[in-house]
Amino acid sequence: MFGALAYNQEKVDNGEAKVLFSNKMLLNEDGHFSIGECMRSFEMQMPVQLSTQKPILHISINPHPEDVLSDQQLSDIAKEYMQKLGYGGQPYLVYKHTDIDRHHIHIVGLRVDENGRPLNDRFEHRRSKQITRELERKYGLHPAEKKERTERPELKKVDYEAGDVKHQIGNTVKAACYGYRFQSFGEYRALLAAYNVCAEEVKGEINGRPYQGIVYSAMNGKGEKVGNPVKASRIGKSVGYEAVQRRMEKSGKVIKDGKLKERTRKIVAAAMRTARTRLEFERELNRQGIDVVFRRNDSGRIYGVTFIDHDSRVVLNGSRLGKEYSANVFNDLYSDERKTGIRQEQQPTHQEQPDFASKETLVSGVASVVDAFGGLFGGASGGDEPQDTASQKRKKKKKKRTRRID
């Protein structure tokens, strides 16, 4: 309850939202009240004994950006929606959010009756979709299915100097997590790094019980973490550990069934044949809407490569495209540049797609993050595995010789 109310109240405090109306709430009619007052009002109407762990309802209704609706129309839509879904007689609050171009509403209410039992929620998702279709037709709104096909989440690079970093990270992480498909945490991290966000898994124990989570941090142009980290729980469950795991599982099936690798593989193969240098390779991919992230160790060896296809909205480690696109292949392909120390010229900003990350930022910046955090994009989760350096191989050979002498 507190989390749902606090999320909306933070928007109100920042001038990014307001309360449209409340239903059966013991509150002042002027719309000015605190989280504590809202919680007390809900608790007074919620039995002590509950037969469900989820007594709170938190729903977001998002019209198309071109559907300009008045506060009265949004209020009417909220009332009708709640009535048809079976919650019309419940206590609830309706907030209007204006923090993005698409003005939308959030509804927070009780989903249990006076005896603490949940109201009928069978096929709730299916019924909700049917209700929204009816409301679209009644109010002449854009169909949701059309919106899903044409509208992409707004994905912007985090700018630490601009302030409000937590809000920036939250917007970027949500857009990345649900705007792209990825099959490993390493691919997810590579995507976020392109937008100045570092994602790290955290594991431990509390009172003998293991826990897993994700911590997000802002990064500067050099790929270094800046500012305080933000726990996923402070952003929302939708970008927490379990949600990201589910996203990875679903992405694998969608990528396979939709043959989403094919476009990326075809473009990468063509660029490998025509590009004479790594920089030319990156530029050719960038021209066709694909970013590439190379991960290198201290000696400059490429041990990982990830492709971010902004057209297919997929993130793919090179090895997923085939052995001929693995890190070892690219290391051999561009080994002469590394040995001779050819200096790479600065990558120009991509004019057609201003939100694309600069290649020099991705390559040098991400590499520094890898060095600082012990292989941030390591292949443990299904990507390219780091390879032994030349010095490591010499040490192994020396140990073998020593054993034979003994």
- DSSP assignment of 118-151 equals BP--TTHHHHHHHHHHHHHHHHTPPPHHHHHHH-
Token pair listed for 301: 């060896």
Q: What was the pLDDT predicted at 163? A: 85
Q: What was the pLDDT predicted at 386? A: 39
Bridging pattern class, strands 104-110 and 56-61: antiparallel
Q: Is 181 helix (H, G, I), strand (E, B) or coil?
A: strand
Q: What was the pLDDT predicted at 222? A: 83
Token pair listed for 336: 């002469």
Q: What was the pLDDT predicted at 311? A: 85
Task: Please report, in tens digits, the pLDDT of each residue of the chain (406 residues total).
Answer: 788 888 888 888 888 889 898 888 887 766 677 888 888 888 887 777 666 667 888 888 988 878 889 999 999 999 999 999 988 888 899 999 987 777 899 999 888 877 767 777 677 778 888 999 999 999 888 886 544 444 445 678 999 888 888 989 998 999 899 889 999 999 999 999 999 999 999 888 777 788 889 999 999 988 889 989 999 988 888 899 999 999 999 999 999 888 889 999 999 999 998 888 889 999 999 888 899 998 888 888 888 999 999 888 999 999 999 999 998 998 888 876 655 444 443 333 333 333 333 333 333 333 333 333 333 333 333 334 334 444 455 555 554 454 444 4
The one-letter amino acid at 274: T
Q: What was the pLDDT predicted at 285? A: 92
